[in-house]
Amino acid sequence: MLRMKKLLIFSLLSLAVNGLVACSDGEVYQAPEITDTKVLTIGSEYGNATSGWNVSGIPDGIYNLEFYTKSSQLNELPYLTASGKTTAIMPSVNTWSKNVIKGINVSDGTCHIELSNGGNIQIKGLQLVSSEKEFNMVKGGDISLLSYVEDNGGKYYAADGQEGDCLEILKQSGMNLVRLRLYNDPGNPDFYPSNTLPAGYQNQDDVLRLAKRAKDKGMDILLTFHYSDYWTNGEDQYKPHEWAELDFDALKTAVHDYTAEFLGKMSAQGTVPKYVALGNEIQAGLLYPDGACEDPIKMCALLNAGAKAVREILPESKIVIHSTFSEGVNETTHKWFFGLVRDYGVDYDVMGISYYPFWTNMSATGFRGWADRIIKQFDKDILVMETGYSWNQTLPDGSPGQLSHNGPYAEFSKLGQRDFIVDLSNQIKQVESGRVLGYVYWDPIFIEVEGLGWILGEKNYVSNTTLFDFGGKALPVLDAMKYNN
């Protein structure tokens, strides 16, 4: 029998005077409605509510706070805090925008609610909804090129202009996970395409060093095995040159042994990854041609070889299968691909997805709808493995970057980038099942450094989508990380 959620509902005026009617399971109580008080402009009537409100008489437990706002885009990001949990508020001038704070832990019968950087914000319809689940959003970024940038003179600065350690700046801004991508033999001059990448980076030694730095900062790790000497996606899945001539049984063994060996090294230095992704954007398979999805038996056998190694060496780590999302790789394709993975018995825990407004032409609201449908069909958690937003229309030389527009988000600006992450975070928290874990920003640290490109001899095509400006200074988007948890 379905059990109704317990609701604690109150009007804004009742909130301001500490009025709350508690209720028992299955019942809903509404504070008496008073004309013209359901919408309250915080800035004019209660200042910025620096002292906040204490809502008392609440049974101990975990709650979500839901509310609606209208606000303009502000230089200082407004956010609402409820007993230590926070959500930044999305600009919405003409329509009411729903906001959610998830996983509020009430342990003393009181929920303290406070608005910061309020400005001219209207709030209505606040309600506390009991929940059975804690929630701590994954807020990550891929730092795989950090050593490369630093070794070539790149420097990072906090928002106040003070030079600092990149990872410390990110940690203080709320980032709690780093993604590291591992190639088998990048930068080897004797083999293509490994010879198109810089030597000494994104290999085992470099990944181990970066993992140690991140773990020392208290950050979780997402490790991606590309199973290649080079970048992989739906189009490119080059076998490592050492595996090029192996027959299929030997290839399976190589995947297992290589995965197990490196995870053993990660474990030995105390940097066990929380998540391990088997391949990168493998919606068409991996290790072509053997693991192409045209032969799902072989594809899934290779994935299970990697999964077996993860379970043997790091049974506490979560296994991720990662697909992209674009107008060419649509929901039908996702259902087909993850259906193959399910039907052929691949052992994994989390569906990874690359979601960019540019390639999907989809807003964060649209992504939430997609996630609701996919989770219902496959009963898996989802992690946004990649996302990004262009805060400047061009690269420093005036040419377009990799993301030449922002889909339904028309604005090219630093505040536009910030507000996209606010929107994405808020929509993630509204997924019906609560099973979207969070997001990982793509190449947030690959700032502009003269002569540095992802491929040797080419320019940096993502320096206008990073979390730092062209000079390495932290951008306002980091407030969107900091004020969402």
pLDDT band, residue 19 (cuts 50/70/90): very low
Task: Select the more confidently predicted residue: 434 or 12.
Answer: 434
For all residues of the chain together, what is the average pLDDT? 89
Residue 79 forms beta bridges with which residues?
88, 116
pLDDT at 40 over 50: no
Distance between CA atoms of residues 47 and 52, nearest Å: 10
Closest to 308 (Cα-Cα) out of 338, 274, 278: 278
pLDDT at 368 over 60: yes
Q: Tens digit of pLDDT for each residue in 238-258?
A: 999 999 999 999 999 999 999
Task: Select the more confidently predicted residue: 147 or 48.
Answer: 147
Q: Are 304 and 332 in contact (CB under 8 A)?
A: no
Percentage with pLDDT > 90 across the chain: 78
Percentage with pLDDT > 70 across the chain: 89
- Reduced to 3 states (helix: H, G, I; strand: E, B; else coil), residue 275 is strand
Distance between CA atoms of residues 428 and 436, nearest Å: 6
Q: Quick one: pLDDT at residue 51?
A: 55
Q: Which domains does the chain have, with CATH numbers?
A: 7-131 (2.60.120), 138-482 (3.20.20.80)
Sign of the torsion formed by the C-alpha atoms of 243, 249, 252 and 257: negative
Helix axes 296-313, 331-343, angle to 10 degrees: 70
> How confident is the model over 73-78, as a mean pLDDT?
90
> How confident is the model over 86-106, as a mean pLDDT?
93
End-to-end CA distance of the chain: 32
- Reduced to 3 states (helix: H, G, I; strand: E, B; else coil), residue 475 is coil
Q: Quick one: pLDDT at residue 118?
A: 80
Q: Quick one: pLDDT at residue 13?
A: 32
Distance between CA atoms of residues 445 and 75, nearest Å: 23
Q: Tens digit of pLDDT for each residue in 286-300?
A: 999 999 999 999 999
pLDDT at 36 over 60: no
φ, ψ for residue 201 (rounded to 5)?
Answer: -130, 150
pLDDT band, residue 416 (cuts 50/70/90): very high
